[in-house]
């Protein structure tokens, strides 16, 4: 009897594992931000938002151009199954993470951000995102006044860029893309959607856009709708569209 129960339990675990393996990473999402690019090495992309009515995705608003990493994109760590065919995101490679990701908090230079339902984190002069792989705070935004100046040594990501880089506007408004949620050292950190300084200017690995577009997204996003962020080259999008239950694209990138 015990052997039979053990075999049944083992079979049940295998079924659960198989179901998890084949589960689509967008199953619970009702809001979706999709960014597509021409190739892995493209530094430009196009963003289209979607909402789900029942089982069907429909477009929300118009598509618009965005800037990607200075060397393109690469598979990141997120909600999607691991992918081995293509470049893999590493710290400092200048690539935007590809895959399906949850959204973290919104952030900005203002103390409050009226109009957004997202959790909002105001950035201070002492706010840093840790991009040092050996740091215990790797891939986290911290306040140097709370963790100590020694803890943020070596970080190249002050979050008040306007105060540290001659009025830089890029982090005036944005939101965290939850890449590398387990904070694996060296696998990439501090991935955001943020403003661009000038149209099309490539990033260090984030997704950049005009301020008016960012404001519209922040006003639209609702945590209760489990929003997700997808970034993929078009060929990968087409390959995974049915499996991941991605919405149909119509002339995504030209």
Per-residue model confidence (pLDDT) at position 23: 61
Whether 57 is in a domain gets the answer yes
Q: Write the pLDDT tens digit of every residue in 110-167.
A: 999 999 999 999 999 999 999 999 999 999 999 999 999 999 999 999 999 999 999 9
Question: What is the percent of the chain where pLDDT is above 90?
Answer: 87
Whether 7 is in a domain gets the answer no
C-alpha distances (whole Å) from 98 to each of 35, 87, 123 are 9, 10, 26
Q: Which residue has the tokens 């030209």?
A: 254
CA angle 137, 94, 229 (to 5 degrees): 75
Q: Write the pLDDT tens digit of every residue in 80-89.
A: 999 999 999 9
Structural domain that includes position 190 = 31-240
Closest CA to 214 of 37, 64, 43: 64
Beta-bridge partner residues of 192: 176
Whether 99 is in a domain gets the answer yes
Check whether 4 has a pLDDT greater than 60: no
175 and 106 in contact (C-beta within 8 Å)?
Answer: yes
Per-residue model confidence (pLDDT) at position 111: 96
d(CA 231, CA 66): 11
Whether 61 is in a domain gets the answer yes
Check whether 185 has a pLDDT greater than 80: yes
Q: Which residue has the tokens 């079924």?
A: 15
211 and 195 in contact (C-beta within 8 Å)?
Answer: yes
**Total domain count, the chain:** 1
- 40 phi, psi to nearest 5 deg: -60, -30
Whether 2 is in a domain gets the answer no
d(CA 55, CA 35): 21
Check whether 60 has a pLDDT greater than 70: yes
Q: Write the pLDDT tens digit of every residue in 196-242.
A: 999 999 999 999 999 999 999 999 999 999 999 999 999 999 999 99
Confidence of residue 18 (pLDDT cuts 50, 70, 90): very low
225 and 29 in contact (C-beta within 8 Å)?
Answer: yes
Whether 18 is in a domain gets the answer no
Whether 17 is in a domain gets the answer no
Whether 26 is in a domain gets the answer no
| More confident position, 16 or 139 | 139
User: What is the reported pTM?
Assistant: 0.89
């Amino acid at each position: 009897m015990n052997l039979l129960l053990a075999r049944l339990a083992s079979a049940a675990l295998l079924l659960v594992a198989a179901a998890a393996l084949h589960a689509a990473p967008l199953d619970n999402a009702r809001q979706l931000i999709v960014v597509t690019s021409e190739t892995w090495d493209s530094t430009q992309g196009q963003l289209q938002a979607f909402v789900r009515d029942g089982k069907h995705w429909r477009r929300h608003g118009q598509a618009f151009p965005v800037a990607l990493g200075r060397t393109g994109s690469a598979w990141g760590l997120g909600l999607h199954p691991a992918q081995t065919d293509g470049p893999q995101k590493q710290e400092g490679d200048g690539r935007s993470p590809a895959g399906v990701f949850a959204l973290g908090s919104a952030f900005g230079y203002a103390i409050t951000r009226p109009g957004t339902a997202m959790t909002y984190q105001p950035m201070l002069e002492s706010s840093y995102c840790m991009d040092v792989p050996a740091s215990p705070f790797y891939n986290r935004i911290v306040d140097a006044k709370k963790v100590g100046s020694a803890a943020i040594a070596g970080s190249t990501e002050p979050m008040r860029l306007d105060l540290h880089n001659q009025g830089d506007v890029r982090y005036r408004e944005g939101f965290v893309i939850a890449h590398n949620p387990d904070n694996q050292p060296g696998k990439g950190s501090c991935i955001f959607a943020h403003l661009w300084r000038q149209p099309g200017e490539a990033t260090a690995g984030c997704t950049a856009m005009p301020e008016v577009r960012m404001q519209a997204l922040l006003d639209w996003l609702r945590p209760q709708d489990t929003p997700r962020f997808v970034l993929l080259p078009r060929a990968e999008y087409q390959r995974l569209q049915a499996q991941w239950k991605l919405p149909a694209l119509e002339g995504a990138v030209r």
